[in-house]
């Protein structure tokens, strides 16, 4: 049976389908709980939450579902301020500030990035969510042991075989193999993303061959065809982000929603102009212009100091060209429906494909 995967059994979920954690303007509690209630694994992007907010969101999730769910965190070091890069980025964004009538910040220093810390680790061990996942790095093996010791399944993103092996050595239970097609930030932490862009079709079987831990495929999976393909490639489950963006429970802006409803395969590109880290989002005037000549940007998350005022202006004016509309290469396959309807449709598409064996 396609859905009686080791991953599904390990997590105690009916279908091995993870709704990817996604940080949007508002937390995705309604979406994540609906996905879990429908038999998938709902996720919350907790990277920017304080310990207090994390506690509050866990309580909300537990109120809305008794089913397993995943909590996701970023692993990145505190950035160092580089005056030369800062000056260069300032010059690049200055024309946008001038054209939009905004005040240009003096520099992009001073962002205290929320990172994974002992307070969050202790809360997770106390609250025991079914899964904790990490993006942008390899978790500390001691933290992995503590989480696993509490009965929590630990997952982390790899974008290459090399990264998958590093994660397995750190003790993670699940490698999320993120292909080039994926919407949002790349999880790369060893390989240089600019030279390495491995698609899901090539990445998943190679990661499956290279590691013994569970592998979940991610990037460009939008329907039953993608799920069947990834299971055939060796994945124990799938991790889908963009497909859930047009669910009725997802709190995205009208501009983002409308862009998704008319999305095409060529819409997106990878840009560091938003956060300082490579991120797949819709091409906009801002991201396209800043990508010219592939300049370096202030490190994540310092670049937000320059990009956020432009984004806020874009949101207030409903101006698509100055927003960050994160989505992946398969967005044209999106449909508007509830999370439960999406999960049911995915399950039916897979079952039809598997039973008719039309391949």
Ligand X SMILES: Cc1cc2nc3c(=O)[nH]c(=O)nc-3n(C[C@H](O)[C@H](O)[C@H](O)COP(=O)(O)O)c2cc1C
Piece of the chain touching ligand X by CB under 6 A; list 76-84, 107-115, 208-216, 237-245: 237-245
Comparing CA positions, the residue from 244, 261, 263, 246 lying closest to residue 343 is 244
| Cα 236 to Cα 2, 44, 326, distances in angstroms | 9, 21, 26
How big is the chain by its Cα radius of gyration, in Å? 20
CA distance 167 to 152: 16
Figure out which of the listed residues 90, 135, 282, 322 binds ligand X, where binding follows CB under 6 A. Answer: 135
Residue 281 Cβ, how far from ligand X at the closest point, in Å? 8
In this structure, are residues 33 and 175 in contact, taking their beta carbons and an 8 Å threshold?
A: no
241 is a contact residue toward ligand X (CB under 6 A): yes
309 is a contact residue toward ligand X (CB under 6 A): no
Piece of the chain touching ligand X by CB under 6 A; list 81-89, 213-221, 264-272, 342-350: 213-221
129 is a contact residue toward ligand X (CB under 6 A): no
Figure out which of the listed residues 35, 38, 182, 230 binds ligand X, where binding follows CB under 6 A. Answer: 182
Token code pair at residue 278: 């490579």
Q: By CB under 6 A, how many residues form the interface with ligand X?
A: 27
221 is a contact residue toward ligand X (CB under 6 A): yes
- The residue with tokens 């160092």 is 80
299 is a contact residue toward ligand X (CB under 6 A): no
CA distance 24 to 43: 13
255: left (phi over 0), alpha (psi -120 to 50) or beta: alpha
Residue 176 Cβ, how far from ligand X at the closest point, in Å? 7
75 is a contact residue toward ligand X (CB under 6 A): no
One character per residue 142-181, x = contact with ligand X (rule: CB under 6 A): ---------------x--------------------x--x
CB closer to ligand X, 22 vs 61: 22
Figure out which of the listed residues 330, 339, 343, 353 binds ligand X, where binding follows CB under 6 A. Answer: 330
In this structure, are residues 11 and 131 in contact, taking their beta carbons and an 8 Å threshold?
A: yes
Residue 27 Cβ, how far from ligand X at the closest point, in Å? 11
Pairing of strands 69-74, 42-45: parallel
- The residue with tokens 């005040």 is 103
218 is a contact residue toward ligand X (CB under 6 A): yes
327 is a contact residue toward ligand X (CB under 6 A): yes
Piece of the chain touching ligand X by CB under 6 A; list 17-25, 56-64, 204-212, 338-346: 17-25
Residue 291 Cβ, how far from ligand X at the closest point, in Å? 19
CA distance 223 to 252: 21
| Cα 262 to Cα 245, 259, 266, 282, 318, distances in angstroms | 13, 5, 12, 12, 16
250 is a contact residue toward ligand X (CB under 6 A): no
In this structure, are residues 75 and 134 in contact, taking their beta carbons and an 8 Å threshold?
A: yes
| Structure letter (DSSP) for residue 315 | H
Piece of the chain touching ligand X by CB under 6 A; list 76-84, 123-131, 144-152, 324-332: 324-332
CA distance 351 to 8: 16
22 is a contact residue toward ligand X (CB under 6 A): yes
Comparing CA positions, the residue from 137, 136, 97, 154 lying closest to residue 290 is 97
Interior CA angle at 286 toward 251 and 260, to 5°?
A: 35
183 is a contact residue toward ligand X (CB under 6 A): yes
Figure out which of the listed residues 32, 35, 41, 47 binds ligand X, where binding follows CB under 6 A. Answer: 47
Residue 259 Cβ, how far from ligand X at the closest point, in Å? 12
220 is a contact residue toward ligand X (CB under 6 A): yes
Residue ranges that bind ligand X, judged by CB under 6 A: 20-23, 45, 47, 72, 135, 157, 178, 181-185, 218-221, 240-243, 326-328, 330
């Amino acid at each position: 049976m396609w859905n009686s995967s080791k991953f599904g059994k390990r997590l105690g979920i009916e279908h091995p389908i993870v709704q990817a954690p996604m940080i949007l303007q508002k937390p995705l509690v309604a979406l994540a709980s609906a996905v879990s209630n429908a038999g998938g694994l709902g996720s919350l992007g907790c990277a920017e939450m304080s310990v207090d907010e994390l506690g509050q969101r866990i309580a909300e999730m537990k109120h809305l579902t008794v089913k397993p769910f995943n909590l996701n965190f970023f692993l990145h070091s505190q950035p160092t301020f580089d005056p030369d890069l800062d000056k260069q980025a300032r010059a690049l964004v200055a024309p946008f500030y001038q054209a939009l009538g905004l005040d240009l910040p003096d520099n992009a220093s001073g962002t205290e990035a929320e990172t994974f810390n002992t307070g969050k680790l202790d809360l997770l061990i106390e609250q025991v969510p079914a899964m904790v996942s990490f993006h942008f790095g390899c978790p500390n093996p001691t933290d992995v042991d503590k989480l696993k010791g509490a009965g929590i399944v630990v997952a982390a993103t790899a974008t290459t075989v090399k990264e998958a092996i590093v994660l397995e050595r750190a003790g993670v239970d699940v490698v999320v193999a993120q292909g080039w097609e994926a919407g949002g930030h790349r999880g790369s932490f060893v390989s240089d993303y600019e030279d390495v862009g491995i698609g899901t079709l090539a990445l998943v079987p190679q990661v499956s061959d290279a590691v013994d831990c569970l592998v979940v495929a991610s990037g460009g999976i939008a329907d039953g065809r993608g799920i069947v393909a990834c299971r055939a490639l060796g994945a124990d489950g799938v991790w889908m982000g963009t497909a859930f963006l047009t669910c009725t429970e997802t709190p995205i802006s009208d501009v983002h929603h409308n862009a998704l409803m008319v999305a095409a395969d060529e819409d997106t590109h990878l840009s560091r102009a938003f956060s300082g880290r490579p991120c797949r989002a819709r091409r906009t005037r801002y991201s396209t212009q800043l990508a010219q000549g592939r300049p370096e940007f202030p490190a994540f998350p310092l670049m937000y100091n320059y990009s956020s005022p432009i984004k806020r202006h874009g949101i207030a004016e409903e101006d698509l060209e100055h927003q960050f509309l994160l989505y992946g290469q398969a967005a044209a396959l999106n449909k508007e429906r509830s999370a439960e309807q999406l999960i049911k449709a995915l399950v039916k598409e897979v079952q039809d494909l598997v039973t008719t064996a039309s391949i």
